[in-house]
Chains A and B, each alone.
Chain A
Amino acid sequence: MTDELIERFRREAEANGTTVEVLSRDDLRARVRDLVGGRAALVDPIPLLQGVDLPAPPADPWDAEIGVSEAFVGAAESGTVVLPQRPDAPRRTSLLVNTHVVLLAREALLPTYQDAVDATAALRPRPIGVQFVSGHSRSGDIESAMIHGMHGPAELIVLVHP
């Protein structure tokens, strides 16, 4: 049942140009470390990543190349991840970087977009902002040609874990 949901999420997210990887918790920690590598990174405090050796954030967040966030919920139907904005999970982590990595727990994956909207609307205390993300930044404003990474990240990677 849950795996069907993951497969649907994967299908829809990949159709949006998102990379989806399903990993065990240990593999996920190693994968994040590899993805960040030596790059300037903005990493939100995520319990699952505690103890992973990651570089300190750059002095100017606008210099960051990669960001790591944790999704509150996901929607399989639309390949969406939902990122509430909090003081320790600022919007810039998902926005100022070239590559954005999102951790999504299996139990947080919901079937429909409406489910994700309703779960997020019920969140208390209400966050000052929320970002629903369904792929990398794009534009079609020059003769409808697909442009990758217009203002936000050019690459979105979602790591699904049990």
Chain B
Amino acid sequence: MTAPSEQGRAGSRPSSTALIGTERVSLSHPEWAGAEIPPGTRRLPLISADAVRRPGVGHTRERLEALGRERASGVWTPEAAARRERGAEIRRETLKDMSGHLDRLCASLEANGAIVHRVSTPEQAREAVGQVARDHGVSLVAKSKSMATEEIHLTPYLNGLGIDVVETDLGEYIVQAAGQRPSHIVGPALHLSKDDVTHLFADLNGAPVSDRPDDLAAFARARLRADFKAAQMGICGVNFAAADTGTLVVVTNEGNADMVTSQPDVLVAVMPIEKVVPRLSDVGVLVPLLSDTANKQFVTTYQTWLSGPRDPDAGGDGPRELHVVIFDNGRSDVLGTPLEEVLCCIRCGNCQFACPVFRTMGGGHGYASIYGGPIGAVLSPVIGGHSADADLPFMSSLCGACADACPVKIPIPDLLVDLRNRYVEEHPRPVEDAGWRAWSLAWSTRVGYAASMIGARAASVVPGGILRRLPLVSTWASVRSLPSFTGAGAVRRAARKKDGHDR
């Protein structure tokens, strides 16, 4: 391994220390869990079935279920409930005048000396970041966690320009080294076990490493420290952007955003439009709300406020140049429609922890999109050019746990149903529709209902292996478990008996 001290020497073009050894990584993953999902390979029913059957998923599921019980998402103390009301109000106030708040934000940022790039598409956002990097001859970027940069596929683009980009959040670093994408908004590596991380770091190291979490973290810390020191540019996401003062607020527990936003000479903050909040004082409500729902803390260990570049003559630290890339990617199109509610999201990941579908699949990879889980099933089909994700709203049982868990009261199940309706309108399925209509007609008559019960009882004595091979059934059951027909009609019979009229 190259000694960190050799990195970043004057006159050399530093490359990443933390990514040394990635070519040795043997931890495998299915294609759909990769950093980029190859176009044309995405078939949601197959992927979700694969995710449920994936080796090791049981371990992750148990951990997620334990976390879910511990967190009791959806249970609000009176104090938290009051904060939730206030947070929900602030987010609706933001929606009401999104473009006005954005105009004020841009003006405040520019008054503070930041350079604003307000763009619409992911391509334009990537190019804006790439141009800043090229202008400064950057070869190494230290990046703190940002789902927005995942959405615009920023890292592969910068890699294509010959620039190393290192994820510095521990979980993000783990998934980056593993060649995967984050499986949860705030816990990117929660699908991986300690053993997985130990094997991964041993591969990076080219020699065994201790499996104690503190030692694993120390291994990552030492490598990432070399990169913090050598990086010429930082890239960060934004949790909240205050329109009145032009202040960007980033929260972490690790302190990596503090490093990224204060040590390199150039900083690019990347945010989608909905990160704007009307006033800086609003973070007094929103930061505790986010910290509680994301991580069950009153506040995270660090909140970093950024208000502008430093005066290069004055000394100290902080970026000499602060760029802010604000992108839309189709979001403005839903303003004024019921779907605009999705733009209230503060990316806490609480709906993901609360979701039984998410837990059963052992994390968000099974959604085959950048944003997984309940909020992802709404957001992904809404943001621009993601028509491939139009069927994601079906990845839900509509149990409503996500709505109960949401800190800003987004009616996620309602939005899922709206998007399902939209999908069905855009993708007519005449055969299936005819089937539902036939069923409805049959059960509207006593004779039809009785006949279906005879059919179900007959099916209950046919072995599953034969049933699965019947035409239509075989297609349906290729990625699903067949329901049991044993006891068909029993509930109804019991209910009738209880009411006193047997048969």
Contacts and interface: CB of A to CB of B under 8 A. Distances in A.
A90 B303 contact: no
Given A129-B305, A142-B217, A90 B253 contact: no
Given A141-B171, A145-B213, A150 B194 contact: no
A85 B311 CA distance: 12
B161 interface: no
Contacts of A86: 316
Contacts of B229: 62
Nearest to B288: A113
Given A117-B283, A150-B253, A134 B314 contact: no
A143 B63 contact: yes
B418 interface: no
Interface in B170-223: 170-171, 174, 187-190, 193-194, 197, 213-214, 216-217, 221
A151 B224 contact: yes
Contacts of A89: 316
Nearest to A126: B307
A86 to B, nearest CB: 6
B214 A147 contact: yes
A91 B174 CA distance: 26
A141 B310 contact: no
A131 interface: yes
Given A148-B214, A150-B170, A128 B307 contact: yes
B255 A132 contact: no
Given A92-B317, A148-B214, A128 B301 contact: no
A133 interface: yes
Contacts of A2: none
What 4 A-B pairs are tightest by C-beta distance, nearest first?
A152-B255, A114-B284, A141-B171, A87-B316
Interface of A: 12, 16, 62, 77-78, 80, 85-92, 94-95, 112-114, 117-118, 120-121, 126-145, 147-153
27 contacts: A87-B310, A88-B315, A90-B315, A90-B316, A91-B263, A91-B318, A121-B280, A129-B262, A129-B304, A129-B305, A129-B306, A132-B303, A132-B305, A133-B301, A141-B170, A141-B174, A141-B188, A143-B193, A143-B213, A145-B194, A145-B213, A147-B213, A149-B221, A150-B217, A151-B225, A151-B254, A152-B255
